[in-house]
């Protein structure tokens, strides 16, 4: 009969006490002024907070933190089955903290290991303070090849009472349901903004794993049993009496060999423009240093909110360029318009036209962007 020695007993007792310490704590926190990361051991979720201007010792959330931030969900797709990275399933989570980072390990499956590592990092972007970098790693330990994907849902809260609650650095208005495809488009950050400050949800930067798609819709519509939600372009953020927009980041599945790790990095930041004039929005404050650009509305049906995109200003020139543009615009059948290759052709054509100094080409670009939106919507209906 094996009898544990004193060293083994002390080791087990230490581990038990350490796990009990984190279980007893309400939160695990890390601060990088003016931001504070809070991880909730009871749920396994996290939220980012910023210090209040009137009291630097008090913090408020940059997005919804209801029920210990359980409204914000990371989910893993493993061989067609969905697993949520939280503590609701009754599985254990292990939290470890060092001086510069916090790591959370989720024990939710025998087929993979899931960890999230949080740290504050300097940014080349225009932000107030550092960025929160979240690295999510899914290691395949199933013993076979596996298809692994990831998605992250955020319940935005800043600006919910505004007519236009969201922006990007290239769109001065997002007032209704929209699908972004950052691998094909140039937007780099989404603003969830209140008066004077904004939460920055990045799409691309020096750290980001660029998502395949980002759904912007009513939060409740993004919480689905299926991996991807239904999408209706221009649908209201209101499902009941109030607006409740959310963001759903999706990173497509990849085939991973046994012991290989599927890794995704995303970043969240803070932008403070409270010293600017009252008429300044997060969009105008963030883009005010961009020279030679103006906002021009993209034509849209009256029933749908207008999404504004940034175009370069340029002097008028010969209409010959427009005639060439019309000749070169991709022409496809209705069936082939439901194809990513067709979308890529349109985007390539837009990129060519943006190099032109002909202001009339800007009109053609606007038409092509509408065609891109229509093509993406058609693909969603398949």
- Bridge partners of 176, per DSSP, are 236
Q: Is residue 355 part of a domain?
A: yes
Same domain, 192 and 127: yes
**pLDDT tens track for 172-222:** 888 889 999 998 899 999 999 887 889 999 999 999 999 999 999 999 999
DSSP 21-59: HHHHSS-EEEEETTEEEEEETTTTEEEEEEE-SS-TT-E
Same domain, 268 and 158: yes
Confidence of residue 53 (pLDDT cuts 50, 70, 90): confident
* Tokens found for residue 95: 């939290």
Q: Is residue 167 part of a domain?
A: yes
Asked if residue 293 lies in contact with residue 311, where contact means CB atoms within 8 angstroms, the answer is yes
- Bridge partners of 11, per DSSP, are none
Q: How many CB atoms lie within 10 A of CB 382?
A: 6
Q: Which residue has the higher pLDDT, 352 or 171?
A: 171
Q: Is residue 57 part of a domain?
A: no
Q: How many CA atoms does the CB half-sphere of 262 hold within 13 Å?
A: 24
Considering 93-107, 327-341, 348-362, the range whose residues carry the highest mean pLDDT is 93-107
Q: Determine the Cα–Cα distance for residues 167 and 175; give it in Å rounded to an integer.
A: 9
Confidence of residue 358 (pLDDT cuts 50, 70, 90): low
DSSP 286: H
Q: Is residue 103 part of a domain?
A: yes
Q: Is residue 18 part of a domain?
A: no
The continuous run of DSSP H or E covering 199 comes out as strand 197-202
**pLDDT tens track for 14-36:** 444 344 444 435 789 999 999 99
Same domain, 88 and 227: yes
What pLDDT shows up at residue 212?
96
Same domain, 257 and 371: no
Q: Determine the Cα–Cα distance for residues 170 and 100; give it in Å rounded to an integer.
A: 33
DSSP helix/strand/coil, 268 = strand
143 CB-contact burial (10 Å; exposed 0-12 / middle 13-18 / buried 19+): exposed
Confidence of residue 295 (pLDDT cuts 50, 70, 90): very low
Same domain, 233 and 338: no
What pLDDT shows up at residue 72?
95
Asked if residue 157 lies in contact with residue 242, where contact means CB atoms within 8 angstroms, the answer is no
User: Where in the sequence is the domain holding 160, given as residue range(s)?
Assistant: 71-272
In the predicted model, is pLDDT for residue 294 greater than 60?
no
What pLDDT shows up at residue 57?
82
Asked if residue 218 lies in contact with residue 246, where contact means CB atoms within 8 angstroms, the answer is yes
Residue whose tokens read 């630097």: 56
Q: Is residue 43 part of a domain?
A: no
Q: Which residue has the higher pLDDT, 144 or 369?
A: 144
Q: Determine the Cα–Cα distance for residues 340 and 338; give it in Å rounded to an integer.
A: 7
DSSP 171: B
Q: Is residue 300 part of a domain?
A: no
DSSP 258: T
Asked if residue 54 lies in contact with residue 196, where contact means CB atoms within 8 angstroms, the answer is no
Count how many domains the chain has. 2
Considering 239-248, 266-275, 346-355, the range whose residues carry the highest mean pLDDT is 266-275
Asked if residue 359 lies in contact with residue 315, where contact means CB atoms within 8 angstroms, the answer is yes
* Tokens found for residue 228: 């991807």
What pLDDT shows up at residue 173?
85
Q: Determine the Cα–Cα distance for residues 293 and 310; give it in Å rounded to an integer.
A: 7
Considering 101-105, 297-301, 357-361, the range whose residues carry the highest mean pLDDT is 101-105
284 CB-contact burial (10 Å; exposed 0-12 / middle 13-18 / buried 19+): middle
Same domain, 85 and 204: yes
Q: Is residue 66 part of a domain?
A: no
Asked if residue 255 lies in contact with residue 226, where contact means CB atoms within 8 angstroms, the answer is no
For the chain, the straight-line distance linking the first and the last C-alpha, in angstroms and rounded, comes to: 64
Same domain, 356 and 225: no
């Amino acid at each position: 009969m094996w009898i544990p020695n004193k060293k083994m007993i002390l080791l087990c007792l230490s581990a038990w006490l350490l796990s009990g310490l984190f279980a007893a704590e309400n939160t695990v926190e890390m601060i990088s002024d003016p931001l504070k990361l809070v991880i909730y051991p009871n749920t396994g979720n996290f939220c980012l907070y910023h210090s209040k201007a009137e009291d630097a010792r008090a913090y408020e959330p940059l997005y919804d933190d209801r029920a210990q931030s359980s409204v914000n969900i990371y989910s893993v797709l493993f061989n067609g089955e969905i697993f949520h990275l939280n503590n609701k399933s009754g599985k254990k989570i292990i939290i470890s903290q060092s001086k510069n980072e916090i790591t959370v390990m989720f024990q939710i499956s025998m087929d993979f290991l899931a960890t999230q590592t949080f740290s504050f990092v300097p940014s080349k972007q225009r932000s107030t303070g550092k960025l929160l970098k979240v690295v999510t790693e899914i290691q395949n330990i199933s013993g076979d090849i596996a298809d692994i994907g990831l998605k992250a849902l955020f319940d935005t809260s800043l600006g919910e009472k505004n007519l236009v609650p969201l922006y990007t650095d290239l769109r001065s208005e997002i007032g209704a349901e929209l699908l972004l495809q950052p691998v094909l488009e140039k937007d780099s950050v989404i603003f969830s903004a209140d008066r004077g400050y904004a939460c920055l949800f990045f799409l691309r930067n020096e750290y980001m794993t660029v998502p395949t798609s980002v759904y912007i819709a009513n939060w409740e519509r993004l919480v689905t049993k299926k991996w991807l939600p239904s999408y209706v372009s221009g649908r209201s953020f209101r499902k009941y009496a109030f607006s409740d927009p959310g963001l759903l980041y999706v990173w497509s599945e990849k085939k991973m060999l046994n012991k290989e790790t599927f890794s995704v990095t995303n970043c969240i930041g803070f932008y403070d423009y409270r010293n600017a004039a009252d008429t300044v929005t997060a969009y105008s404050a963030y883009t005010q240093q961009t020279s030679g650009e103006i906002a021009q509305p993209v034509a849209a049906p009256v029933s749908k909110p207008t999404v504004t995109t940034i175009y370069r200003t340029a002097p008028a020139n010969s209409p010959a360029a427009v005639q060439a543009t019309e000749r070169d615009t991709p022409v496809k059948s209705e069936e082939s318009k439901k194809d990513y290759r067709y979308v890529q052709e349109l985007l390539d054509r837009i990129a060519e036209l943006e190099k032109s100094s002909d202001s009339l080409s800007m009109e053609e670009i606007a038409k092509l962007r509408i065609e891109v939106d229509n093509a993406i919507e058609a693909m969603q209906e398949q």
